Chains A and B, each alone.
Chain A
Amino acid sequence: MRKVKQSWELVEDFMNGIEDPVEHIYRVLDSINRWESMVNAYISLESPDILIEKAEEISRRIRRGERVGRLVGLIVSVKDNICTSFLPTTAASKILDPYIPPYDATVVERLLREDAIIVGKTNLDEFAMGSTTELSSFGPTRNPWDLDRVPGGSSGGSAASLSYGGADLSLGSDTGGSARLPAAYTATVGLKPTYGLVSRYGLIPYGNSLEQISPMARSVKDVALLLDIIGGFDPLDATSLNVDSLNTFNSIKADARDLKICILKEMVEGADSPINSMFWKIIEKLESEGANIEYYSLPILSKALPTYYTIAFAEAASNLARYAGIFYPTKGSSSSWEEYIGESRFKGFGREVKRRIMLGVYALSEGYRDEYYVAATKVRRVIRDEIVKLTSKCIIASQVSPILPPRLGERIDDPLKLYYMDMYTVVANLAGVPALAQPIGFHGDLPIGIQWIGGPLEESKLISIGLLIEDITGLRGVIVD
């Protein structure tokens, strides 16, 4: 393990002539060359010539004293379910390979406006449906901390690219923990924003009432830097919140004595022992420094996982109906319309996607709808009400995952075992509230994370507490050596 500069520090050093964006891009390309054949974090990479040319142009602009953006010279990786007009966007599915969207997602436009350099598109579970990044049509991503293990998912490519130094910042997406779980498994930081805070325009939809594009980085302050740029109102997203500009970057480190932390029995029970002991060590440390810790039980949370999956499946079935072999690359060959569609979906979708679509159809079918989808919307409302009520009083602390990063292939054959990995993360998506995952330690070489959940639009509070935890653990800007 070694430590590198945080992205915001790099920007300052670029501006002060201490670091050069061209030398930096060469460093990042070296890391990619060294690691990528083992890790498979990227589905597509921008040509090195183009990247170097961009870095040279940025370097010239800085030397001339021209106005530059807040991400000047930083290398950003983007999850491959976020549309880019200059690189293919496949969502790790054969059905979209090699689709190049005619437009950039709003978040991508905002990155480019701030002079970020987009290095490539990162691997994910197909259509973000998974928790390990093994379910990609482009092969699994491996965890740089232990190449026999998964990096978590579905934003595993984004997390892996950060943890081996193949990017400074990354965009993931989080439908049920897809940014937070990989963050916990790779000693990086992932923040799922309040629903509606970050535009979903250009995000290939899976579960649209649950998902948010999520900033990922190697430190809490870098996540805040990225959130401030991608967040805020977008007229192209009907669910966009009326928030003009964000300033989480300037959030001040929390004072433990001012903290009120709630621990929910249902969100800490059931985790493996190394995860448990690391979690309680941090909580005890905070308590010893004056934090007020309160313990609650919300029995309804025992139904969070089936509620989440019922809604996610139903939304997936609806969202993925568009892939009918007409507008997108994978097509059928039959002259019968019905067979043509069935064939293109047979060829294009992977096993888990087919499973989720069919379960979504089941949950929405006449005769089953009330028992499944309608019931899930009811339970979701109760969960949301309870979480919003509780987070008005305190920040919720929980584990991120009940298990350490599994070995490749260990969980993939049992869908329920895969879904179980999301048991602590889905709550924030059901409630639409923000949640931050950050590293708190290692068990051997394997990173362990903690999760903080706040009330709607309380991202700054999460950043403040995240800064405090970084000071306690010293885990900031960590990469694999």
Chain B
Amino acid sequence: MSECRHLDLIDKLADLAKITLSDEEKLNLCRDIVRIAEYLRAVGEAARDLNVDPLYYVWDKWGFLRDYNRDRFIIISNLPTKVKDGYVIVPWRGGKIEEG
């Protein structure tokens, strides 16, 4: 079990994911996960270089949604601080809503 230095991390992830692992699985996953996480790190670097906010399209601009539930729609024009350049700002995904 000493072949992977990140077994503590694997234990934490397994606990969060609610998965019991055998010792052999733990070791294999430890090797794989550390390697894959390293590969995925390229995304963080790319996002920093792009300097972009995680904004999302206003769907009804495209006219794709059915309007039979229109009374339940949020009218985007009433939320000027939550829209920027035709995109919706999603705070929980890291977008910042400007105050005032």
Instruction: Return chain A residues, CB-CB under 8 Å to B94.
Output: 370, 374, 377-378
Q: Is B74 among interface residues, defined by CB-CB distance under 8 A?
A: no
Assess the B19–A349 pair: CB atoms within 8 A: yes
8 Å CB contact of B29 from A233, A354, A374? A354
Report the Cα distance A372→B13, complex, angstroms: 15
- Name the interface residues of B2-39: CB closer than 8 Å to any CB of A: 9-10, 13-14, 16-22, 25, 28-29, 32-33, 35-37, 39
Report the Cα distance A382→B43, complex, angstroms: 12
Kindly report which residue of chain A lies nearest to residue B19, judged by CB atoms: A345
Instruction: Return chain B residues, CB-CB under 8 Å to A471.
Output: none
Q: Is B61 among interface residues, defined by CB-CB distance under 8 A?
A: no
Assess the A342–B33 pair: CB atoms within 8 A: no
Q: Is A409 among interface residues, defined by CB-CB distance under 8 A?
A: no
Shortest Cβ distance from B52 into chain A, in angstroms? 5
Mark contacts of A348-382 with chain B using CB atoms, 8 A cut-off: 1 yes-contact digit, 0 otherwise: 01010011011101110100001110111111011
Shortest Cβ distance from B47 into chain A, in angstroms? 4
Q: Is B89 among interface residues, defined by CB-CB distance under 8 A?
A: no
Assess the A306–B42 pair: CB atoms within 8 A: yes
Assess the B64–A241 pair: CB atoms within 8 A: yes
8 Å CB contact of B36 from A233, A339, A359, A377? A359
Q: Is B79 among interface residues, defined by CB-CB distance under 8 A?
A: no
Report the Cα distance A48→B82, complex, angstroms: 58
Kindly report which residue of chain A lies nearest to residue B50, judged by CB atoms: A382
Shortest Cβ distance from B29 into chain A, in angstroms? 6
Q: Is A196 among interface residues, defined by CB-CB distance under 8 A?
A: yes
Assess the A306–B43 pair: CB atoms within 8 A: yes
Assess the A306–B50 pair: CB atoms within 8 A: no
Assess the B21–A371 pair: CB atoms within 8 A: no
Assess the A357–B19 pair: CB atoms within 8 A: yes
Number of A-B contacts (CB under 8 A): 129
User: How many residues of B are counted as interface, with CB atoms below 8 angstroms from the partner's CB atoms?
Assistant: 42
Q: A345-B20, A382-B50 are in contact. Are A358 and B44 (CB under 8 A)?
A: no
Assess the B21–A354 pair: CB atoms within 8 A: yes
Q: Is A317 among interface residues, defined by CB-CB distance under 8 A?
A: yes
Report the Cα distance A354→B29, complex, angstroms: 8
Instruction: Return chain B residues, CB-CB under 8 Å to A241.
Output: 64-65
Report the Cα distance A184→B85, complex, angstroms: 40
Report the Cα distance A255→B10, complex, angstroms: 56
Q: Is A346 among interface residues, defined by CB-CB distance under 8 A?
A: yes
- Name the interface residues of A304-319: CB closer than 8 Å to any CB of B: 306-307, 309-310, 317
Instruction: Return chain A residues, CB-CB under 8 Å to B17.
Output: 317, 345, 354, 357-358, 361
Query: Which 4 residue pairs are nearest across A and B when measured between Cβ atoms?
Result: A375-B47, A342-B20, A371-B44, A346-B20
Q: Would you give 10 A-B contacts (Cβ < 8 Å), ordered by A?
A: A241-B65, A342-B14, A358-B33, A359-B33, A361-B16, A375-B48, A376-B47, A377-B93, A382-B52, A416-B36
| Chain A residues at the B interface, C-beta cutoff of 8 Å | 196, 233, 235, 240-243, 300, 303, 306-307, 309-310, 317, 321, 324, 338-339, 341-343, 345-346, 349, 351, 354-355, 357-359, 361-363, 365, 370-372, 374-379, 381-382, 415-416, 456
Besides the contacts A242-B67, A361-B16, A374-B47, what 11 more A-B pairs have beta carbons closer than 8 Å? A309-B36, A339-B20, A342-B14, A342-B20, A354-B25, A355-B29, A358-B13, A372-B43, A374-B54, A375-B43, A375-B47
